[in-house]
Amino acid sequence: MPENPNQPRDDDAVLGGDSQPPTYAVVLGGLEGVKRRFASTVESQRILALNDAFNYGESGLDFVIQALQDESTGVKRAAYSLLLTKTETKAYTALEKFNHYQFFECLRTLKEHSNFISSVAIAPTGKIIVSGSGDMTIRVWYVERNWCLRTLFGHRSYVTSVAITPDCKTIVSGSCDHTIKVWERVTGDCLHTLQGHSGSVDSVAITPDGKTIVSGSSDNTIKVWDISTGESLATFSGHSDRVDSLAIAPDGKTIVSGSYDKTIKVWDILTGESLATFSGHSDRVDSLAIAQERTLETDLGAVKSVAIAPDGKTIVSASYDNTIKVWDIMTGECLRTLKGHSNFVLCVAIAPDGKTIVSSSSDKTIKVWDILTGECKGTFSGHSITVISVAITPDGRTIVSGGGDNTMKVWGMR
């Protein structure tokens, strides 16, 4: 006869006798024993019971999955961590639906920069962070360490944007000094200095094959460069104001740009043809007081950041109008507008699962959103002033932010 997993086994312990109060005289065996211990009012005992649940097959797995809905944050965290060790489809499905961002906290604060951090990028391996700063330097860090691996010197003004190639060997930076620099990551050597823009280089991006750089500038243009030679391949014109952000589709054929002219444009990288223009960000903000505080030079509808989902079908944009918009790249339809930040939204990133948006804002917070529903799944506070840039690791388990307080913060679960 098959063994019943809910019944005590021969080697299970029994708690009872005169040494314990009669109310605790229960059999600590089988899944029923696990459930009795889980009913304890002591959180540590409940977590220990969860650890034992996996000894009882699929029923035990189901029990741990149910614990994801527990009222105790500690129990939910323990259940989540335990399920990460399992390979069953049921466990994977439960984790996929679960909001693990509720457990995120600041794991470390990196303080080597002496001025604001304008841009952060995470290598595809998820192990290396690159940061650009108003102190005119680029720094390279390990995600899991508190110290800087190396500092790259060479720009003569603020570094505005950084990117790293898919093979993690090369860093690209843009600067207010009108140049783009190409660096060897390991040695820190500057391989090329690219000149051609007549204004600040506000954004840089690298194609998925690692062979091409795309840059956007305050001269209102987009340029395409050969990363190995530094040769300028093409210039795209069409925006009527500075191009502050760029993203490249996973197929490497499409560029998306965001501009202070309040539009997002989609381009064919080979022909330079403008395929579509999306409009929707505006000068309207929910708070009149905030609007009155801002200078006349500030264009409230400016698009500050754009990102493309891994499937290449969805664009996300962030604006000075305090909102994030989600767009269908084929139709140009605005699928939803995400509201929750109380000030400028300066940067957006999309998690590799294509389901999660991370945003940073002048309201000093980082927010995590469900891209399909627009639900805010978490808000992180810790920077003392504006959060300028944000990025997320490929596994979605770590977020990195750069602030106007000269610090970079790493967020995740302990």
The answer as to whether 22 is a domain residue is yes
Q: Produce one character per residue of 315-352: b if its CB has 16 or more CB atoms within 10 Å, e if not.
A: bbbbbbbbbbbbbebeebebeeebebbebbbbbbbbbe
Say which residues have a Cβ less than 8 Å from residue 126's Cβ, sequence separation at least 6. Answer: 143, 393, 394, 395, 398
* DSSP string computed for 175-234: ETTSEEEEEETTT--EEEEEE--SS-EEEEEE-TTS-EEEEEETTSEEEEEETTT--EEE
Do both 81 and 206 map to the same domain?
Answer: no
Is 202 found in the same domain as 184? yes
Distance CA 177, CA 201 (A): 8
Q: Among 77, 97, 117, where does a domain finish?
A: 97
Say whether both 60 and 182 belong to one domain: no
Task: Choose one of 97, 132, 156: the last residue of a domain.
Answer: 97
CA distance 313 to 254: 11
Contact 298, 320 (CB under 8 A): yes
In a domain, 7, yes or no: no
Q: What pLDDT shows up at residue 321?
A: 94
* Domain-located, residue 6: no
In this structure, the answer to whether residues 163 and 34 fall within a common structural domain is: no
Same domain, residue pair 169 and 253: yes
Write the CB contacts of 1 (distance below 8 Å, at least 6 apart in sequence).
none
Identify residue 39 by its one-letter amino acid code: A
The answer to the question of residue 405 being in a domain is: yes
What residues does 85 pair with on adjacent strands?
A: none
| CA 142 – CA 291 distance, rounded (Å) | 39
Identify whether 249 is part of a domain: yes
Nearest one of 392, 389, 414 to 401, comparing CA atoms:
389
The pLDDT of residue 287 is 45
Per-residue confidence (pLDDT) for residue 4, from 0 to 100: 53
In this structure, are 108 and 93 located in the same domain?
no
Domain count, the chain: 2
- Does residue 291 form part of some domain? yes
Shared domain check, 149 and 74: no
**Residues 206 and 61 grouped into a single domain:** no
Same domain, 121 and 52: no
Domain co-membership, 134 together with 221: yes
pLDDT score, position 300: 79
Judgement on whether residues 72 and 121 belong to the same structural domain of the protein:
no
Buried b (16+ CB within 10 A) or exposed e, 36-59: bbbeeeeeeebbebbebbbebeee
CATH code, domain carrying 200 = 2.130.10.10
Contacts of 87 (CB under 8 A, 6+ apart): none
The residue among 332, 362, 369 whose CA lies nearest residue 345 is 362
67, 97, 127 - which closes a domain: 97
Distance of alpha carbon 315 from alpha carbon 265, whole angstroms: 11
Residues 318 and 391 in one domain: yes
Tens place of pLDDT for every residue, the chain, 414 residues? 445 555 554 444 444 444 444 333 334 568 999 999 999 999 999 999 999 999 999 999 999 999 999 999 999 999 999 999 999 999 999 998 999 999 999 999 999 999 999 999 999 999 999 999 999 999 999 988 888 999 999 999 999 999 999 999 999 999 999 999 999 999 999 999 999 999 999 999 999 999 999 999 999 999 999 999 999 999 999 999 999 999 999 999 999 999 999 999 999 999 999 999 999 998 655 544 444 444 434 567 899 999 999 999 999 999 999 999 999 999 999 999 999 999 999 999 999 889 999 999 999 999 999 999 999 999 999 999 999 999 999 988 999 999 999 999 999 998
Q: So what's the pLDDT on residue 145?
A: 84
pTM more than 0.85:
yes
Q: Examine residue 207 and state whether it is found in any structural domain, yes or no.
A: yes
> What does the pLDDT read at residue 29?
66
Domain presence at residue 228: yes
Q: Determine the Cα–Cα distance for residues 307 and 345; give it in Å rounded to an integer.
A: 13
Number of CB atoms found within 10 A of residue 26's CB? 15
Instruction: Tell me which residue range forms the domain holding 169.
Output: 103-412
